[in-house]
Amino acid sequence: MKIIRDFQTARAVLRRSPFELGEVPPQIKQGIIGIFGEELTPEEAVARIIAEVRDKRDAALFEYTKRIDGVALKSLEVSKEEIDKAYKKVNKELISALEIAAERVRSFHLTQMRHGFKGFMEGGTGQILRPLERVGIYVPGGTACYPSTVLMTAIPAKVAGVKEVILVTPPRRGGAIPPPTLVAADIAKVDLVFRVGGAQAIAALAFGTESIPKADKICGPGNIFVILAKRMVFGVVDIDGLPGPTETVILADDSADAALCAADLLAQAEHDVLATVFLITTSSKLADEVNSEVERQLAKLERAGIARESVERRGKIIVVANITQAVDLVNLYAPEHLSLMVHTPSSYMRRIRNAGAIFVGESSPETLGDYVAGPSHVIPTEGTARFRSPLGVSDFLKFTSVVALSEEDLEALGPAAATIARAEGLTAHARAVEARLKKKSREG
């Protein structure tokens, strides 16, 4: 990993640009050529997929699943029988672990419902709280399966009261969906599961097809094509944000364990070649030790190729003079994940303004947050932790304002409303109020 020992250089490195792809990895470029037979930017490829799904619907989903995933599907929907059979293909230890995780996730979000959301009526005005009708959740596939993402997206939606939760995920050879994903879907009480992934799945949820109903909102992480598709369909459908490739920052001092720091960095680097991992430390010695540990541990990883490309292309170790500089860099970068590997880590909580999730101390590794801690692991990336929150029940709720004023309220507020309306040149607005005031005067 590259080591940066100058604070101003580090600030320049961590300063975000507006959302952009940057340099597209060669394998992505070649993949696009293989699918479309010509050079296209990822944006152009996604726009083409969305247009075809909107126009050709299911036919486009079958075609792109064959071209992109290499799978000739006979049907899009996963049957209840297939889900039931998945339990026989998953060991009991994993089923138990998923049930433990589901209970933790459900309990955390039920607490959000109890303490954070309610409708009210007061003084003639108020609000009604209602859940969304139908939500689509995207669960990545491809080189790995993510039953945890099923739990982390579907359960908050169900806790919020969403009537129908639809899951889309890329199929494997023969159209199979990884059994752990299906078991997690059943545990999370997902209503429908479809074997389709990528930008075509996002387009299907946004516009609807013969098989896949149109959703009110799309949630969940994905690769760069999924991110671009979500951005392009926003407005047709709501989205939870643009949770892209994972990113993590470890803030460490001389008390940190180099082996644990390296393990945490690699745990995120193995997700994706576009994953970003940073260590910010006040200890030059720790910086060197972590760098050596990363190299040593890489040799033992099953996904070493992915993790190595991530740390070499996007990984950084930054050495600063003091914790104040370290916190400044964290707040500037606004990471998805922040791990505090320092003396008395809880004492730094108030100083961290921008982070999607904070992992406090050696006993709280990000891996626990990814799977079993309780809060959703769908967390804002690309610096959006400055203004966005992790996925939660609020993402699946909407408020309707209610205005139910009395005649006394009309008399008290009507003249002010009419005055403002006339100042804006909207005389019909003013007359709508004045007519009521005159009627009341005549009747009085």
Bridge partners of residue 193, in order along the sequence: 167
Q: Which pLDDT score, from 0 to 100, does residue 51 have? A: 97
Instruction: Label residue 11 exposed, middle or buried (CB < 10 Å: 0-12, 13-18, 19+).
Output: middle
CB 410 within 8 A of CB 440: yes
Q: Which pLDDT score, from 0 to 100, does residue 21 have? A: 57
Q: DSSP E strands: which ranges in 123-264? A: 125-131, 134-138, 164-169, 192-195, 217-219, 238-239, 247-252
Q: Specify the pTM.
A: 0.89
Q: Which pLDDT score, from 0 to 100, does residue 145 have? A: 87
Instruction: Label residue 263 exposed, middle or buried (CB < 10 Å: 0-12, 13-18, 19+).
Output: middle
CB 218 within 8 A of CB 373: no
CB 113 within 8 A of CB 159: yes
- Spell out the domains of the chain, with CATH numbers in brackets: 2-14+245-387 (3.40.50.1980), 80-241 (3.40.50.1980), 405-443 (1.20.5.1300)
The rounded distance, in Å, linking the Cα atoms of 51 and 53 is 6
Q: Which pLDDT score, from 0 to 100, does residue 142 have? A: 64
Helices 147-160, 179-187: inter-axial angle, 10-degree rounding = 20
Q: Which residue, 328, 302, 331, 297, is CA-closest to 315?
A: 297
Q: Which pLDDT score, from 0 to 100, does residue 123 have? A: 80
Q: Which pLDDT score, from 0 to 100, does residue 377 have? A: 93
| 48 DSSP 8-state letter | H
Instruction: Label residue 213 exposed, middle or buried (CB < 10 Å: 0-12, 13-18, 19+).
Output: middle
CB 354 within 8 A of CB 384: no
The phi and psi torsions of 73 (rounded to 5 degrees) equal: -80, 150
How does strand 120-122 pair with strand 125-131?
antiparallel
Q: Which residue, 120, 185, 110, is CA-closest to 393?
A: 110
Beta carbons within 8 Å of 431's beta carbon, 6+ residues apart: none
The rounded distance, in Å, linking the Cα atoms of 177 and 112 is 32
Q: Which residue, 176, 242, 212, is CA-closest to 58?
A: 212
DSSP 383-430: TGGGT---S-GGGGEEEEEEE---HHHHHHHHHHHHHHHHHTT-HHHH
Q: Which pLDDT score, from 0 to 100, does residue 96 have? A: 98
User: Cα angle at 162 between 160 and 163, to 5 degrees?
Assistant: 145
Q: Indicate which residues carry an active-site annotation.
A: 336-337
Long-range contacts for 27-30 (Cβ within 8 Å, ≥24 apart)? Answer: 27/273, 28/224
Residuewise pLDDT in 10s, the chain (444 residues)? 999 999 999 999 998 765 555 667 788 889 899 999 998 999 999 999 999 999 999 999 999 999 999 999 999 999 999 999 999 999 999 999 999 999 999 999 999 888 767 777 778 888 888 999 999 999 988 667 899 999 999 999 999 999 999 999 999 988 899 999 999 999 999 999 999 999 999 999 999 999 999 999 999 988 889 989 999 999 999 999 887 788 999 999 999 999 999 999 999 999 888 899 999 999 999 999 999 999 999 999 999 999 999 999 999 999 999 999 999 999 999 999 999 999 999 999 999 999 999 999 999 999 999 999 999 999 999 899 999 999 999 999 999 999 999 999 999 999 999 999 999 999 999 999 999 999 978 886
